[in-house]
Structure 1
Amino acid sequence: MDAIAAPLLDPGGLDLESAARITYRIEQSFRYDYDSPVESVRQRLVVVPPARHGDLHRRAHRVEVTGAPARRRVSRDAAGNTIVRVRADRVEDSVEFHVLAVVERVRGDGPLTLPAAALADPRLLRPTRLTAADDRLRALAADLGGGGARGLDLADRVCAEVHAALTYEFGVTTVRTTAAEALACGRGVCQDTAHLMLALCHLLALPARYVSGHLLGQGGTHAWVEVVVPERGGAVAVPFDPCHGRRADSSYVTVATGRDYTDVAPTSGSYLGAPGGRLTATREVGVVAIAA
């Protein structure tokens, strides 16, 4: 059966870690409603998975715009992410962006390898506004780095520390909350744990980047971190999910990577008109096929 039309499998009975191939289907929509007509709508969508990311392969995808005549342009950014830019001259009352993608994990094609130059890439080592350090973060990094751990062992320690430091709570932070602010608050969501882990990695000279994607069974877009370590004359990106205090596994599907949330926000844009546009998002992600 075509993966686009196939029913989702019951995740409770799936042994994903033993599977040689896993096929996922992603459906996501973003609807903007306006109280009066708006003009010059410009939307940036980062919702299409890459053609390949380690053992993940994009097999099919489509992006549809309904509610207004629109023009689309697809490009790739500096990190290789697929960027869909949509322009609509006028929207009467609502516009909706819908993405459907089929992604296959081929176990033998991993892990995600990078050139050795990635180990010294400033984008993976320098803080951003959202991941900048304060005194408390610097003290925490000093404690973590004082035990002699290096590489993935150190990354494991950072992941566990971040998981312990932040209690998951929706609504207490925003997409503008910094790592330092989240640590001081002690609460946040997945993007906050990702930013906090990135801040500590930067302080400990561990190259790392923000990942936006999907976690099976989770209600919305998820965020985690890839730490880049040397391997066989090159480098490999190892995924960590500090929100759950573990390394990422076959339940995770990558959409984009960047320095922080700002680089890979699923939807962002502007328009001319009265303020007060309302966003409604829906998402369904699951497995449609699995092979031993």
Structure 2
Amino acid sequence: MAVMKRLDFIYCMTITYSEPVSNCHYTLKCVPADMDRQRIESLKIEVMPENYRSRGQDSFGNQMVYGTIEKAHDVFSCRVCGTAVTGCADSNRQRKGELPGMYLNLRGLTAAGKELESYCGELAKKLAGRTDGTPYGQAVKLMQCLYEDFRYEKNCTNVTTTSEDAWRLKRGVCQDYAHILISLCRMNRIPARYAAGFMLGEGESHAWVEVLWEGKWYGLDPTNNQLVNEDYIYVGIGRDAADCALNRGIVVGGGQQCQQVAVAVKEI
């Protein structure tokens, strides 16, 4: 039986421009939504400067907030806060019409090269006969091996780093852990997808992996070498991090920009 928690969350993002910008077109995907594993009890969204904005969903079911700010401004910010009930289930059901094949392709940020393919081959020999024979059990073993062979380190990768590039470095952050595990799963014909969100005890956004088994998506967190539980709040899912970017935008002008993000999650 799943253990449920009520979690208050706050996501704050501020972009400061060295010169004023105008005609800012933005898309935000930093809004948690109801799903099998969680229920959103309350939600408040603030975007500054104030403007007309719309809500929608992308093809993966992620919540989007988008709009245009025509007037000149040198600071753009958004604040999303609310309460989520988590641990409502131990998995997320496969959506109607959702094709597993899209989560098997080694593409984009999960594209694997020779070094990652070689590592995958080494793990196949190492784990032979050591899993329970299910795709889920195999994915858990892959996560455990990756945790032992990869090191967490900030500022050595960026949002464009592929799983192959991160594996060459043997170090990176949660996005890199997730991309590498996704690549390893897909090379073993296990449908795997990227998940982004918030985690109790973390002061920033987090990323993990879901694998598909018998019509359900199960969460694995390779950065912490653990199964996803009631401490996690889902914000986005997709093929890789590019599908789950928490904010994107196009502006006119602006010069240099500085972005600051803060996340707070506490149990109530």
**Same fold per superposition (TM over 0.5):** yes
1:137 matched residue in structure 2: 116
Q: Which residue of 1 is the match for residue 73 of structure 2?
A: 92
Q: Secondary structure at the match of 1:28?
A: strand
Residue aligning to 1:202: 186
* 1:31/1:97 contact within 8 Å kept: yes
Q: Could you say what secondary structure the match of 2:158 adopts? A: coil
Measured in 2, the distance between the counterparts of 1:95 and 1:132 equals: 33
Contact 1:145/1:154 (CA < 8 Å) preserved in 2? no
Q: What secondary structure does 1:163 align onto?
A: helix
Within-5 A mapping of 1:71-82: 71-82=52-63
Structure 2 counterpart of 1:29: 12
Unaligned residue ranges in structure 2 (runs of 5+): none
Per the alignment, in what secondary structure is the counterpart of residue 126 of structure 1?
coil
Superposed, 1:48-63 pairs within 5 Å as 48-52=31-35, 54-63=36-45
Measured in 1, the distance between the counterparts of 2:2 and 2:137 equals 25
1:104 and 1:244 mapped to 2: Cα distance?
22
The answer (yes or no) to whether the contact 1:165–1:183 under 8 Å persists in 2 is no
CA drift of 1:270 comes to: 1.5
Does residue 42 of the first structure (1) align with residue 35 of the second (2)?
no
> Are the counterparts in 1 of residues 202 and 264 from structure 2 also a CA contact under 8 Å?
no
Please tell me the root mean square deviation across aligned C-alpha atoms, in Å: 1.9
1:135 corresponds to which letter in structure 2?
Answer: K
Q: Tell me whether 1:167 sits opposite 2:151 in the alignment.
A: yes
Task: Give 1:11's aligned residue.
Answer: none
Question: For the Cα contact (< 8 Å) 1:132–1:179, is it kept in 2?
Answer: yes
Give the equivalent residue in structure 2 for 1:285. 265
Question: Cα gap change, 1:105/1:173 in structure 2, threshold over 3 Å: closer, same or farther?
Answer: same
Matches within 5 A, 1:100-249: 100-105=81-86, 107=88, 109-114=89-94, 118=98, 121-146=100-125, 147-148=128-129, 149=131, 150=133, 151-230=135-214, 235-249=215-229
**Residue identity in the other structure for 1:154:** Q
The alignment's TM-score, normalised by the length of structure 2, stands at: 0.92
TM-score (norm 1): 0.85
Of the structure 1 ranges 278-287 and 138-147, higher mean CA displacement relative to structure 2 is found in 138-147
The percent identity for this pair of structures is 25
For each residue in 1:170-212, what CA deviation from the matched residue of structure 2 results, as whole angstroms up to 9, or x when unmatched? 0000011110111110110000000000111111100010000
Paired residue total: 263
Q: Give the Cα separation in 2 of the matches to 1:130 and 1:96.
A: 27
Instruction: Give structure 1 stretches of 5+ with no counterpart.
Output: 1-16
Change (3 A) 1:70 1:204: same
1:65 and 2:51 aligned:
no
Displacement of 1:268 in angstroms is 1.7
Q: 1:248 to 1:30 in 2, by over 3 A?
A: same
Task: State the match for 1:13 in structure 2.
Answer: none
Question: Which residue pairs with 1:268 in the alignment?
Answer: 248
Once residues 124 and 117 of structure 1 are traced to their aligned partners in structure 2, the CA distance between those partners, rounded to angstroms, is: 13
The Cα of 1:18 is off from its aligned counterpart by: 7.8
Q: Distance in 2 between matches of 1:262 and 1:199?
A: 15
Q: Which sits farther off after the overlay, 35-44 or 206-215?
A: 35-44
